[in-house]
Structure 1
Amino acid sequence: MTSSFSLTGINRTLLRSGLERYRNALVVIVASVMAIALTLTLLAPASAPNLARPSHADQVMLLTESWAKGDVIALVRHGERCDRSTTQCLGPADGVTVRGEAAVKVLGADFDQLGLQNAEIYSSMLTRARQTASAMFVRPVEAQDWLFNCRGTMLRDALKHKVAGQNLILVSHSECMDQLLVDMHLSTSTTFGYGATLFIQASGTNGEPQMLGYIEPKDWGSIVPVMTASSRHGFEASQF
């Protein structure tokens, strides 16, 4: 009888010891997973700021100031593609839709209010980009091959075409917007809609270009109050 009780006690001790080892191992595993997840989060590239969010009002003010100085490169995605929509096409199947043309005309008016006096404008050679540029701007826009064949060279080519004191507006494609983000070591997790615009500050000095953020066409109105406040502080920029 005594021997039986002894064996039972030993078994219980072994069981408790095994459970403690299992618990300790589980704690170590959970802690390791959390540490790895935190490290990956901290090391992950930052995303371009969404200028429509109130938390990025300072970026909007910086955009206003930089635009007035002619220090901005704006990369615009073309309008709605005809070959990926069931709505009426404006013309050729590789172009934009009638709805897309109407939307980018509004976007062009937004840019016009922002100010086009000191801006150079180029577009991709593809039909949808040329149609977008024609709808946005009353002036003729020169088409450039590098605004479509942009793999690995988007930022370099944009900076090469940037003239000091002149803003640069580029009508291009979502792939080239992603390439610009890659070139600036930023995350490409953002999906840019038709007519979305990326803004970077490029003063032409030895400093690195700075990502200011992006804006979707429907959100331009949300940054008007910030632009108005900026102009009241002496920035030479019109409201939009």
Structure 2
Amino acid sequence: MLSSNTLGHAAIHARRQRRLSRKSLGAALGLCTFVAALTTWLATRTHIVDLGNEQHLTDSGLLQEWAEGAVIVMIRHAERCDSAPGPCLDDPTGITVAGSQAAGQVGLGLLQLGLNDADMLSSPKLRTRQTAHFILGQAVATEDWLERCDKQFASEALARKRPGHNLVLVTHNGCIDHFARDQGVPGGERESGYATALFVSVDGKGKARILGRLNPPAWQRVLASAGR
């Protein structure tokens, strides 16, 4: 027969085991909740694909969206003269010679896509006006909101998108960053290089969807796809 002390120790041990089991269950449930929340959060993130990749270009639907006049393209100004070693185009507050050439590449790509029904706007800064000139071959109307780069940038851009007309915006990295942030793009993916274009489709209800990004050297692939 077991002594009362033995029975007492056994009861205490059993209670401890139950407490440990409850703690383990609670920890497991907490971990599951955290993983589920993290998975949900990650699912809401938007990742910007490289449209220089032919498969990404095809999957994005860019060419069809552009043909339907359903696209906003935001282009960062070309290489700044005041932060690059290369020769300046002219004014030191503008772009470099290499930057003007990169902007020309972008312009050839946009012409291949078609600009007949496109609306075009630029930031009033000299570097953006010069970039727009080399992209589009003409002076472009300027609007101040394209250089303010504040939290209203996304709504300002969408408000100017006319149905059936693509919208070309020559602007700044900070402005494009605000738009990407508004679309749920993670911080490490929002940076736009010089003369890089971010393409966004806009549906009939004004809802935006990021199609992808294209840097100047990759335009040749778009030209080839558009010319098929």
Report the TM-score, using the length of structure 1 for normalisation: 0.74
Aligned residues: 200
Tell me, in whole angstroms, the C-alpha distance in 2 between the residues paired with 1:150 and 1:70. 25
Tell me, in whole angstroms, the C-alpha distance in 2 between the residues paired with 1:168 and 1:199. 10
* Contact residue 120 and residue 169 of structure 1 kept, 8 A: yes
Tell me, in whole angstroms, the C-alpha distance in 1 between the residues paired with 2:75 and 2:111. 14
Q: 1:41 to 1:220 in 2, by over 3 A?
A: farther
Matched with 1:3 is none
SS in 2 for 1:148: helix
SS in 2 for 1:189: helix
Cα offset, 1:86, TM superposition: 1.3
Q: 1:225 to 1:104 in 2, by over 3 A?
A: closer
SS in 2 for 1:142: coil
Matched with 1:179 is 178
Gaps of 5+ in 1: 1-24, 230-240
- Give the counterpart letter for 1:84 in structure 2: S
Gaps of 5+ in 2: 1-23
Identity %: 31
Matches within 5 A, 1:100-111: 100-111=99-110
Matches within 5 A, 1:77-226: 77-190=76-189, 191-203=191-203, 205-206=204-205, 208-224=207-223, 226=225
Tell me, in whole angstroms, the C-alpha distance in 2 between the residues paired with 1:42 and 1:218. 36
Runs (4+) off by over 3 Å: 34-42, 57-60, 223-229
Cα offset, 1:217, TM superposition: 1.0
Tell me, in whole angstroms, the C-alpha distance in 2 between the residues paired with 1:82 and 1:96. 5
1:187-229: per-residue Cα shift (whole Å, max 9, x none)? 23223211110011113x2252111111111112234554456
Cα offset, 1:186, TM superposition: 1.9
Tell me, in whole angstroms, the C-alpha distance in 2 between the residues paired with 1:133 and 1:223. 20
1:102-151: per-residue Cα shift (whole Å, max 9, x none)? 11112111111110111011110111000000111123200111011121
Aligned match for 1:43, one of 16, 41, 44: 41
SS in 1 for 2:111: helix
Tell me, in whole angstroms, the C-alpha distance in 1 between the residues paired with 2:33 and 2:167. 43
Matched with 1:72 is 71
1:153-175: per-residue Cα shift (whole Å, max 9, x none)? 11100111111111000000111
Cα offset, 1:180, TM superposition: 0.5
* Contact residue 113 and residue 226 of structure 2 kept, 8 A: no
Tell me, in whole angstroms, the C-alpha distance in 1 between the residues paired with 2:224 and 2:78. 26
* Contact residue 89 and residue 100 of structure 2 kept, 8 A: yes
Report the TM-score, using the length of structure 2 for normalisation: 0.78
Matched with 2:11 is none
Q: 1:224 to 1:133 in 2, by over 3 A?
A: closer
Aligned CA RMSD, in angstroms, stands at 2.5
SS in 2 for 1:111: helix
